Amino acid sequence: MSFEVWAPRARRVRLALDDHVLAMEATAGGWWAADTGPVPDGTRYGYLLDDDETPVPDPRSRRQPDGVHGLSATFDASAHPWGDGAWTGRQLAGATIYELHVGTFTPEGTLDAVASRLDHLKELGVGFVELMPVNAFNGVHNWGYDGVLWSAVHEPYGGPAAYQRLVDACHRAGIGVIQDVVHNHLGPSGNHLPRFGPYLKDGRNTWGDLVNLDGEGSAEVRRYIIDSALMWLRDLHVDGLRLDAVHALSDESDVHLLEELAVEVAALSAHQNRPLTLIAESDLNDTRMVIPREAGGHGLDAQWSDDFHHAVHVALTGETSGYYADFAPLGALAKVLDRGFFHDGTWSSFRQRNHGRPVDTDRMPAWRLVVCAQNHDQIGNRARGDRTAEHLDDERLLCAALLTLASPFTPMLFQGEEWAASTPFAFFTSHPEPELATATAEGRLAEFERMGWDPDQVLDPQDPATFERSRLDWSELSGGRHARVLEGYRRLATLRRELPELTDPGFGTTTLDEAEGRLTLDRGTVALHLNLGERDWEVPAVEVLFSTSERIAPGRGDRPVVVLPGNGLLVRTSPAA
């Protein structure tokens, strides 16, 4: 077996292999190599840099059995007996995404335990499971965005072998897997990369030091990122990647990292003869992310539209603090439904500048925008991690579901949303270093002070109870409001499968009576009606497909007149007289 590592900053590199230390030979471009012959799978190893006597992990480690400061372990990805030979992949268009956190989705908090719940997701009509980051981080539980070894699966979740078992099980259940990956920064604990080479450059973004994407030595750093991305797709059979906060990627290269990644993923997709999807989380409100490379874009498949979440949240809850302020009129929701973004060159009071660019709704399919009424950020970045189920009645929760699942966009659900879970989803960490734990807690308080939140409401992310309270309670599904909301989600999922109008790629047409609090989204032969006003609203001559609650009056033939007393309604409109 050949061990290779890029370490241009080292004068000497030695391989620590079990109880042996072997000299490595310098090769071209700052690489070092050692040929050891065959080694058993799971063999511990690390690298000794210069005169150090304590080995550090392999930057390209696939497995960290003893944490991010411990030795790496060899992992043979080809050893798994894949059972997904009949899996030909899934297109994003028309699919529903389900976002989950491995550590809190089940009581066990493991990848194998996620696999045991796939029947529930099938009943919801889920097309893709999107896993929050699972790469190796320091500590036991964490959201995953503090990872430092981008190709290793967090060992307490089950490691890479359990990850393969989950992907295999998903594919046999007809569900694709999207992995959330972070390339815009490295976590604050366990990052040994700068000792090897110029992985970082001067400057910082919101979360840490900038990754070196365009400076001296950046070609190998970019290769490191792209090889990691291809590893998830090729060796672990993942179907897509959600690229975290791409607006924080600092890259002035002639070819942006995102475009280079899109090119290589497209080549792998062609070779494997299955769709491979790249989804950007972008705060830029700029569809250059998904515009084809031939037209000057980066060529990704889809991107998030946070504006959809903000507009839905404000319309249903009335909350207008912080970045929600601009979304106060119901017209904000109407604009998002019609045009994809609310801020498309308009003034953002939260940012104190104009923000975004218009969406070319005549040419871009609406499914390229991924939308949600809840996600990990919008819940977990609240002071208490409180869900909308704590503040809304069942009718308004189902209105949120109706807007998400019947909109023209690609809908994404967040774990537990579908049954109005009473458990919060808080921001939690388990940093072993006391100084890092203190800095994290103080940083949260400062962040919420800017948002105007009561500091007494901010949970301590290091408190183990903050994590434990965030675990889903699966016993809730069987009764009360949880069962009613779940039945509503399942019914909407069935309609998405049965009605081609709900997966049509075109944008709809929205009409609005803001004074009365009424909105209609026309999608051809199907229309979504939303009544948030105080007065009843008569919708004549329709076939009711889904309603949060309705009163039906005599109509024409088999098409009743429906009176909306403040709810949401999905109908098939009557043919022209």
- 434 and 294 part of one domain: yes
Encoded tokens for 279:
């989804």
CATH number of the domain to which 531 belongs: 2.60.40.1180
- 341 and 235 part of one domain: yes
Q: Does the pLDDT value for residue 214 go beyond 60?
A: yes
CB 571 within 8 A of CB 542: yes
Task: Find the mean pLDDT for residues 146-164.
Answer: 97
d(CA 485, CA 420): 6
d(CA 521, CA 399): 13
Residues belonging to the binding site for substrate are 242-247, 306-310, 376-381
**Has residue 83 been placed in a domain?**
no
Provide, rounded to the nearest whole percent, the portion of the chain with pLDDT above 70: 98
Among 498, 529, 564, give the residue marking a domain's end. Answer: 498
**Has residue 91 been placed in a domain?**
no
**Has residue 81 been placed in a domain?**
no
- 155 and 29 part of one domain: no
Minimum mean pLDDT range among 34-38, 259-263, 433-437: 433-437
pLDDT of residue 399: 97
Minimum mean pLDDT range among 176-180, 228-232, 268-272, 381-385: 381-385
- Dihedral (CA of 297, 303, 305, 306) sign: negative
Measure the CA angle with vertex 173, ends 172 and 179; round to 5°.
Answer: 90
Residues belonging to the binding site are 242-247, 306-310, 376-381
Encoded tokens for 190:
């366990």
On average, the pLDDT of the chain sits at 95
Measure the CA angle with vertex 91, ends 85 and 96; round to 5°.
Answer: 110
Q: Which pLDDT band holds residue 210 (cuts at 50, 70, 90)?
A: very high
Per 3-state DSSP, what percentage of the chain is helix, strand, and coil (rounded to 5)?
35, 20, 45
**Per-residue pLDDT tens digits for 433-490:** 988 888 887 777 777 766 666 777 889 999 999 999 999 999 999 989 999 999 999 9
- 550 and 450 part of one domain: no
Measure the CA angle with vertex 96, ends 95 and 98; round to 5°.
Answer: 140
**Has residue 74 been placed in a domain?**
no
Q: Does the pLDDT value for residue 299 go beyond 80?
A: yes
- 144 and 272 part of one domain: yes
- 462 and 427 part of one domain: yes
pLDDT of residue 540: 86
- 344 and 399 part of one domain: yes
Encoded tokens for 526:
């199907």
Q: Which of 373, 404, 363 is nearest to 507 (CA)?
A: 363
CATH number of the domain to which 138 belongs: 3.20.20.80
Among 498, 525, 558, give the residue marking a domain's end. Answer: 498
Strand, helix or coil for residue 563: strand
Selecting among 99, 244, 344, 550, the annotated active-site residue is 244
Q: Does the pLDDT value for residue 325 go beyond 80?
A: yes
Side-by-side strand order, sheet with 509-513: 509-513, 518-522, 526-531, 568-573, 542-547
Q: List, as one string, the DSSP characters of 54-114.
A: S-B--TT-S--TT-TTS-EE---GGGS----TT-----STT--EEEE-HHHHSSS-SHHHH
Work out whether strand 369-371 and strand 410-414 pair parallel, antiparallel, or are unpaired: parallel
**Per-residue pLDDT tens digits for 73-125:** 999 999 999 999 999 999 999 999 999 999 999 999 999 999 999 999 999 99
pLDDT of residue 558: 75
**Which residue has tokens 């942006």?**
256
- 547 and 493 part of one domain: no
pLDDT of residue 404: 98
Q: What are phi and psi of 182, to 5 degrees?
A: -120, 120
**Has residue 77 been placed in a domain?**
no
d(CA 228, CA 14): 24
**Has residue 421 been placed in a domain?**
yes
Please name the residues in contact with 542: beta carbons below 8 A apart, sequence gap of 6 or more.
Answer: 527, 555, 559, 560, 562, 571, 572, 573, 574
- 472 and 513 part of one domain: no
Q: Which domain holds residue 517?
A: 508-573
pLDDT of residue 383: 86
Strand, helix or coil for residue 264: helix
Reply yes or no on whether 395 is catalytic: no
- 28 and 134 part of one domain: no
Query: DSSP class of residue 501?
Result: G
- 305 and 413 part of one domain: yes
Side-by-side strand order, sheet with 551-556: 537-539, 559-564, 551-556
**Has residue 84 been placed in a domain?**
no
Selecting among 281, 286, 418, 504, the annotated active-site residue is 281
Q: What are phi and psi of 79, to 5 degrees?
A: -75, -20
**Has residue 46 been placed in a domain?**
yes
Reply yes or no on whether 390 is catalytic: no
Structural domains in the chain (count)? 3
- 104 and 195 part of one domain: yes
Among 456, 472, 498, give the residue marking a domain's end. Answer: 498
